């Protein structure tokens, strides 16, 4: 058996064909200026294709997000991360699946997360690991405050995430 190969930082891995990856620091001011995204509105009066993936309530939820780290918009790989927010009382993200594992770190408010039919209370400080393809959703139970969480996907970019409601 041969000994393992040891490389130094000076060794050339012949990565010339890979995109340039670099450290990234995003200021709170930059995050605050970013416009939140949401799922597109669905006109329920029209005939809806089953492939649209609607939740039980006919939608995908009341949730907005700001994707902060995601290739190719950022020079990063391996992880996609951002901040999601549900409004007080009625905010929710309908149960859904995607191939990639995901982590939630709740930063504000409290609510309930459901993973494969099991509901658990969450609050600021709670960390949740969601295995790939697990059916999961979250809802805000706080009557006054938004439910906010930092999310991380095991994916190079948000474009790789295919939600299946």
Radius of gyration from C-alpha coordinates of the chain:
19
* pLDDT beyond 90 at 72: yes
- Position 16 scores a pLDDT of 57
For residue 82, being part of any structural domain is answered with yes
| Total domains present in the chain | 1
For residue 140, being part of any structural domain is answered with yes
For residue 86, being part of any structural domain is answered with yes
For residue 54, being part of any structural domain is answered with no
Query: Which residues form the domain of 131?
Result: 59-160
Closest alpha carbon to 139 in 74, 84, 97: 84
- Position 42 scores a pLDDT of 60
Instruction: Give residues with Cβ within 8 angstroms of 68, minimum separation 6.
Output: 26, 31, 34, 74, 81, 82, 83
Closest alpha carbon to 111 in 146, 80, 82: 146
- Position 54 scores a pLDDT of 41
For residue 27, being part of any structural domain is answered with no
For residue 20, being part of any structural domain is answered with no
* pLDDT beyond 80 at 99: yes
Residue-by-residue DSSP string for 45-61: TS---GGG---TTSSSE
SS3 159: helix
CATH number of domain containing 145: 2.60.120.10
For residue 47, being part of any structural domain is answered with no
Q: Once rounded to an integer, what is the mean pLDDT over residues 119-147?
A: 98
Q: Which one-letter DSSP state was computed for residue 164?
A: B
For residue 148, being part of any structural domain is answered with yes
pTM of the entire predicted model: 0.81
Tens digit of each residue's pLDDT (9 = 90 or more) over 33-64? 999 999 887 654 444 444 444 444 557 899 99
């Amino acid at each position: 058996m041969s000994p393992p190969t040891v490389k130094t930082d000076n060794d050339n891995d012949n990565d010339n064909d890979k995109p340039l990856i670099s450290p990234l620091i995003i200021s709170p001011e930059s995050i605050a200026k970013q416009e939140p995204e949401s799922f597109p509105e669905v006109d329920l009066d029209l005939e809806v294709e089953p492939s649209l993936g609607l939740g039980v309530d006919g939608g995908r939820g009341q949730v907005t997000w700001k994707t902060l780290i995601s290739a190719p918009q950022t020079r990063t790989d391996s992880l996609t991360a951002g901040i999601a927010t549900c409004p007080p009382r009625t905010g929710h993200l309908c149960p859904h699946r995607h191939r990639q594992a995901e982590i939630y770190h709740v930063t504000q408010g409290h609510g309930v997360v459901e993973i494969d039919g099991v509901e658990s209370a969450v609050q600021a400080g709670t960390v949740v690991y969601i295995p790939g393809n697990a059916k999961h959703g979250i809802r805000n139970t706080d009557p006054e405050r938004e439910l906010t969480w930092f999310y991380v996907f095991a994916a190079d970019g948000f474009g790789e995430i295919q939600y299946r409601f």
